[in-house]
Structure 1
Amino acid sequence: MAEGHRPSASELSRRNMLLGAVLAGASGFAFMRQPAIAHPVVPEKDFESWVPPKFGDWKTVSQSGVVLPPPDTLRDRLYDNLVTRVYEAPNLPPVMLLLAYNNAQDGVLQVHRPEVCYPVGGFELSTTREIAFKASGQTVPANMFTATAPGRVEQVAYFTRLGTAYPRRWIEQRAAVMRANLAGEIPDGMMMRVSALGIDQAEAQPLLAGFASKFIESSNLRMQRLLLGPDSRG
């Protein structure tokens, strides 16, 4: 029985060269398709300077008293920028504000949603309701819930922007990151959270929605773009 053909050294060399070219081409294609960070880091001092100390009848009275995200080992990586303020206006309950921004939401590191932060602080949460904020001609999908702890009842409303999406749920947030990645981008992420103490949801919703609208519209164009996205006209 005849032996099978054994490739010569030159044939093996040509095969190896062809295989190497194919692998190199695939590697280069994968590199070109790798998502790129779409937005630069915002310096901390710049971000803080874009938060208006007063607007309309509202003025800053404190930077403390706001429930913060859990102090885990990832917090410094989760947020390039984290600002808290307490505002007061005549004849209205004080409003607490938290702004959190990160220029790169890569699917692993993503902004914490308030439904994560409050239970870590010992709060029990009501069912989250879907609401909306209106600002600068846009309608922004938002969420609202009541957080209860001994001696404290807090009405909380917030929205999260990832790239051009406003996900209301964690799974929607993950999906927004995946869609941006498939389009070749690593999106930025922004969360605005507003809250008030000692009132019920019926009173809190118009208060917080009105505060958020006035805050956004009174902010400079750079902050408006972080809150509403790069296509906002501010």
Structure 2
Amino acid sequence: MKRSTITSWILGGTMLLSAWATVAITPTVKLSETRPPIVLAQSIPERFGDWQVDKAQVAAVVNPTTVAELNKIYAETLSRTYVNSSGERIMLSIAYGTDQRDNLAVHFPEGCYGGQGFAVEQTVRGQLTTVAGKIPVSRTMATLNTRIEPITYWVVVGNRAVPTSWEVKKEKLAYAVRGLIPDATLMRVSNVTADKEAGYRLQEQFVAQLMDALPPASRSHFSGTGD
């Protein structure tokens, strides 16, 4: 048999194997359809611990995409400003998407803030200690003119919290080989302060009190510490 013929057979076989593998790991079932629906406004209390919603403030989700695009990516979004007894404020933004295929994946804060003209610092890894366990998070700081905003965020893909886009992709692949399309929840807390470390400490206190107030099922979902 000629070498060119052998090469053609090998190439053909490789293409068929690649096509088979693609079909084999193409997810077909949405994980969100196998469990109770998420309703953010009902799941997240307006008052908990030392915090309550500040009705005078609006915490708009910083995102350069249009409303139509947001509606395509996310099933629900929630944006609130909370204030404590000392007058300190925390902005909470949550975005929930039921379909985490590549064209519908969550948008990370670095890109969203950058798209609004903010200068965004390098992202660093961290952990939040809560009653649900330690949540792996990412932290950064966004600056626009005199506005300085420390940010803490994490993404819950299916049942697990992950702090980076690379780990989101790994979780999505792990679900895909099981034939599942995972849902995802982007959790973001921030406040306006020039004292970055104090801002992060306040955010950790806020998240800890929020997790304390949630019932077990909601706590597991939003912390990403479920099974």
Larger Rg: 1
Q: What residue identity is the alignment partner of 1:172? A: E
Matched, 1:152 2:147: yes
Gap regions ≥5 residues in structure 1 = 1-25
SS at match of 2:99: coil
List per-residue Cα deviations over 1:91-115 (Å, max 9, x = no partner): 2520000011112212321111101
Work out which of the residue numbers 194, 203, 224 in structure 1 matches 2:189. 194
Aligned match of 1:170: 165
RMSD over aligned Cα atoms: 2.5
List per-residue Cα deviations over 1:149-185 (Å, max 9, x = no partner): 0121111111111123333222222222112101221
TM-aligned CA distance change 1:42 to 1:123, over 3 Å: farther
Matched, 1:125 2:120: yes
Is the contact made by 1:102 and 1:111 (CA closer than 8 Å) also made in structure 2? yes
Aligned match of 1:13: none
Matched, 1:108 2:115: no
Work out which of the residue numbers 65, 68, 74 in structure 2 matches 1:71. 65
Aligned match of 2:177: 182
Gap regions ≥5 residues in structure 2 = 1-18
Work out which of the residue numbers 70, 81, 89 in structure 2 matches 1:94. 89
- Separation in 2 of the partners of 1:100 and 1:135? 21
Aligned match of 2:51: 58
Is the contact made by 1:147 and 1:153 (CA closer than 8 Å) also made in structure 2? yes
Shift of residue 194 of structure 1? Answer: 0.5
Aligned match of 2:203: 208
Is the contact made by 1:159 and 1:168 (CA closer than 8 Å) also made in structure 2? yes
TM-score by length of 1: 0.78
TM-score by length of 2: 0.80
Is the contact made by 1:42 and 1:80 (CA closer than 8 Å) also made in structure 2? no
- Separation in 2 of the partners of 1:42 and 1:156? 30
Range with bigger deviation, 73-82 or 219-228: 219-228
TM-aligned CA distance change 1:219 to 1:70, over 3 Å: farther
Is the contact made by 1:50 and 1:222 (CA closer than 8 Å) also made in structure 2? no
TM-aligned CA distance change 1:116 to 1:158, over 3 Å: same
